[in-house]
Structure 1
Amino acid sequence: MELYSPAKTAMTKYLFFTGKGGVGKTSIACATAVSLADSGKKVLLVSTDPASNLQDVFHLELDNKGTAIKEAPGLVVANLDPLAAAAEYRESVVGPYRGQLPESVIQNMEEQLSGSCTVEIASFNEFSSFLTDKEKAVQFDHILFDTAPTGHTLRMLQLPSAWSGFISESKHGASCLGQLSGLESKKEIYKRAVDTLADGSLTTLVLVTRPETSPILEAKRASEELGALGINNQLLVVNGVLESRDSTDKVETALYSKQQEALKKIPESLLRRPATMVPLRAYNITGIENVRHMLSYSGSVQAEGAQADIHPFKLSDIIKEISDSNKKVVFTMGKGGVGKTTVAAAIALGLSKKGKKVRLATTDPADHLNFVMGRESNISISHIDEQAELKKYQEEVLSKARQTMSEEDLEYVKEDLRSPCTQEIAVFRAFSEIVAKSADETVIMDTAPTGHTILLLESTQSYNQQIENTGGDVPEAARELLPRLKNPDDTEVIIVTLAETTPFFEAQRLVDDLKRAGLNVRWWVINASYSLTDTTSEFLKAKASSELQWIQNVDQISNGNYAIIPWKPFEVKGEKLLELL
């Protein structure tokens, strides 16, 4: 796999960077922009990522108009705020109904427009102006976007029924319905933007991943989903590849082996695309020189002085508190790829060792969980089949929607039912049934609903009480569980993250979302940290040093209530789960 070189691969005017949170797409986008500017090109870099750290990268205050980077002549950077755009857009939709409809209906409308789907639509609304601006097309040789729209968003934009604006009379229950209400004036701009995305002579989709299983599978899904919409000019960038190993250090040797195994399993469908790699860097990609180094400097970096004094708890401390307080519902929450399923399994095992009767409700189909837990008499496994639960919920909603909707509107509902929050709702319904039948057990759930989803379920319940609406009813089990989740004596929410930029900011946003729904978060777990390993590698010690600021951020935001799990040189399963404690 050859090294990623923007001069060779960035041949189109527009480049969109996409990938799972934390894979480094912002860093790759920044490094690409600086590299192209250094080669004499005029470049505009636009960020639409709510967790963007562009201001830290360039050490500048940025705005949505564009700021010239003096250390890289020819480069202009614009940092859009999709959360602010989503709030403004939400009010433009809901505002006209204030005073006209019951307050419960207004709250339902606001919540329908508060999820990640709406933020993505608002982001697309913002960068469509850059994508279709003829003056900018003349002014810049390349325009880069560090967050690409998903296939779900693009399919939504292409449906005629998406523009009918029937949010106020939604007949299909809790969902993300209504993201496009009030954007009729943008319809033609959106169409031009979508056409530009699908034009391979104008646009390249850069799929950023890491040499790890979960991000690679996410890249495959994004590639196929966007390819089905005609966006086929795609480039794969595997970020963070350890080029060589210090054979005297067992941690570095194990990391190298683990990455090589993941690289061997890259799906054939991805390898049919041009595939490149960027070496693992031990330093944070902040400051213009480090951004430049990212694509060119392969050497090790010395650790930046002595490791600061940190005093994390162990996972066993969290387990002891859960056991002593007799919590009955435990959620591990975090973005995909941070290890929340593994942490959930370790907590289940730890509680079992303390004599607790435990039920682990997991969406992970991995057989090793059933194998391990089956040997623990106090642990039961309830595997929730996400796709089966989603299909069941979709069929229930559609059967009711068909009673009142045209076929055109049903197409919109079908697309809406593919959204992430719909899947959360379907899984939560299954989870609530498990909790309802497990009065004498501690139930641990490794995939929990966001605050937005919980508020959607509650507002739909309230909405149905105000208006005769039989679609999307909240089941009795879920109705009873919702108040329990807000009771800190009954429920523990544990945030799982990595000591890295994007996972931290996404976890922080998740906590804010949960607070909005009335859920308290006490404990954080930092997973797979090099800081507490016994590595002798100068490279990995420098990598550990770069984690420090994120560990300190977690320390501050959690009031010191956090645990660190060291990076493990093996796949964590079976009895190896005990090593996390």
Structure 2
Amino acid sequence: MLLSLASQRSVLFFGGKGGVGKTTVSSATALAMADAGKRVLLVSTDPAHNLGHLFGRKIGPKAVRLAPGLDGMELDPEKTVESHLQEVSSALRRLMPAGMAGEVDKHIELSREAPGMQEAAMLERIAEVVEQHDDYDLVIFDTAPSGHTARLMALPEMMSVWTEGLIKRREKADKFTAVLNTLGKDRSVGNNMLGAEPAAHDEDRESKIRRILNRRKQRFANLREKLLDQNYSGFVIVLAAERLPVLESIELAKQLKRTGVDVAGLVVNKRLPAEGLTGFLAERKAQEEIHLQDLNTQLGHIERQDLTLSAHDVLGVDDLRAFARQFAN
């Protein structure tokens, strides 16, 4: 299932409860597709940075080569927010009157800890990666645990609507400015009331603000369109055959469905072997089947792949290749 999905889509998101093996499954999928001749970019949005630990090397916000045909990057939420705020601050300082620099700094500091700031900044970064992935045949996102990811998938529509509201308010302000600027031959009344620079500078500044807002709106709209296109992207939920991961996966699937995101597949990771179990392990295997019955009742219409628990930790390219051999079964 996994290799089939990866060959049919341009973007795949892997998500699920923490600790179920999302990074291992997404990385093995990415490596298998690279070995098959695809150019693949593997992107981690999880602040735990498991991608670097798995490949045994330092990975940062810029793409680095992990294996032939496979590049990887880790997007740190804190650094993404900082970069995002620096970009916004720089733009505001260029666009606002010089006397408002203090207000710009105050706004930026208040925004730093605002609810949803990390998600919004991360979303813009994801949108940039999706926009600029022409060098790759496939982009795979290894996402943070379920709740964070569900909010992230719902954000493109919300941010697009919010930015549209800003644009409309900006247009109303522009009209008000134009009216005030017509008062008096030297437009001094309008300028004094707004505390603005001369009219020519006002018009240029407002034009830049509109361009920035429209570009941002278009970026979110493009990402939303691609997330909803089942031929372009899909979401794979990774879980373990245990009560809490199953319940959380069912809820995540419902949340994604409400946002219109296609749940393309389920991966039940860390399954016990089918045969040769006795005593404690046999009881655990029976428990797995009970929990998977609940999964089938709720999400039986979604294609599923089960992966057996590895006897040893999966670390490095060779282990990932060995792990990925299960995908063909």
Paired AA for residue 159 in structure 1: V
Greater displacement, 144-153 / 74-83: 144-153
Question: CA offsets per residue over residues 360-389 of structure 1, 9 Å max, x none?
Answer: xxxxxxxxxxxxxxxxxxxxxxxxxxxxxx
Report the Cα distance in structure 2 between the residues aligned to 1:269 and 1:20, rounded to whole angstroms: 17
Task: Give the 3-state SS of the residue equivalent to 1:296 in structure 2.
Answer: helix
Counterpart residue number, 1:218: 248
Equivalent residue for 1:39, pick from 27, 36, 48: 36
Equivalent residue for 2:310, pick from 256, 281, 284: 281
TM-score normalised over the length of structure 2: 0.71
Report the Cα distance in structure 1 between the residues aligned to 2:261 and 2:108, rounded to whole angstroms: 38
The answer (yes or no) to whether the contact 1:120–1:149 under 8 Å persists in 2 is no
Paired AA for residue 80 in structure 1: L
Question: CA offsets per residue over residues 130-172 of structure 1, 9 Å max, x none?
Answer: 2112xx33x3221111125634423422424675399xxxxxx
The answer (yes or no) to whether the contact 2:270–2:307 under 8 Å persists in 1 is yes
1:211, distance to aligned residue in structure 2 (A) = 0.9
Report the Cα distance in structure 2 between the residues aligned to 1:132 and 1:92, rounded to whole angstroms: 18
Equivalent residue for 2:290, pick from 261, 269, 290: 261
Report the Cα distance in structure 2 between the residues aligned to 1:45 and 1:32, rounded to whole angstroms: 10
Counterpart residue number, 2:71: 76
Please list every run of 5 or more consecutive structure 1 residues that lacks an aligned counterpart in the other structure. 167-182, 299-581
Question: CA offsets per residue over residues 290-339 of structure 1, 9 Å max, x none?
Answer: 212223369xxxxxxxxxxxxxxxxxxxxxxxxxxxxxxxxxxxxxxxxx
Report the Cα distance in structure 2 between the residues aligned to 1:5 and 1:108, rounded to whole angstroms: 43
The answer (yes or no) to whether the contact 2:5–2:264 under 8 Å persists in 1 is no
Counterpart residue number, 1:57: 54
Q: 1:163 to 1:126 in 2, by over 3 A?
A: farther
Q: 1:202 to 1:107 in 2, by over 3 A?
A: closer
Report which of the two has the higher share of helix. Answer: 2
Report the Cα distance in structure 2 between the residues aligned to 1:7 and 1:43, rounded to whole angstroms: 15
What does residue range 117-196 of structure 1 map to in structure 2 within 5 Å? 117-133=116-132, 136-137=133-134, 139-147=135-143, 150=151, 151-160=153-162, 164=166, 184=213, 185-196=215-226
1:282, distance to aligned residue in structure 2 (A) = 3.2
Q: 1:107 to 1:204 in 2, by over 3 A?
A: closer
Counterpart residue number, 1:540: none
Please list every run of 5 or more consecutive structure 2 residues that lacks an aligned counterpart in the other structure. 94-99, 144-148, 170-211
Report the Cα distance in structure 2 between the residues aligned to 1:206 and 1:235, rounded to whole angstroms: 5
TM-score normalised over the length of structure 1: 0.42
Paired AA for residue 157 in structure 1: M
1:93, distance to aligned residue in structure 2 (A) = 5.5
Say if 2:259 is the partner of 1:229: yes
1:229, distance to aligned residue in structure 2 (A) = 2.7
What does residue range 233-312 of structure 1 map to in structure 2 within 5 Å? 234-244=264-274, 246-250=276-280, 252-296=281-325
Report the Cα distance in structure 2 between the residues aligned to 1:109 and 1:62, rounded to whole angstroms: 28
Question: CA offsets per residue over residues 97-141 of structure 1, 9 Å max, x none?
Answer: 7744998x88654432xx5x32222221112112112xx33x322
Report the Cα distance in structure 2 between the residues aligned to 1:162 and 1:111, rounded to whole angstroms: 23
The answer (yes or no) to whether the contact 1:245–1:256 under 8 Å persists in 2 is no
Q: 1:267 to 1:297 in 2, by over 3 A?
A: closer
Bigger relative contact order, structure 1 or 2 (CA pairs below 8 A, ≥6 apart): 2
Report the Cα distance in structure 1 between the residues aligned to 2:60 and 2:237, rounded to whole angstroms: 26
What does residue range 422-441 of structure 1 map to in structure 2 within 5 Å? none
Question: CA offsets per residue over residues 368-413 of structure 1, 9 Å max, x none?
Answer: xxxxxxxxxxxxxxxxxxxxxxxxxxxxxxxxxxxxxxxxxxxxxx
Report the Cα distance in structure 2 between the residues aligned to 1:205 and 1:94, rounded to whole angstroms: 34
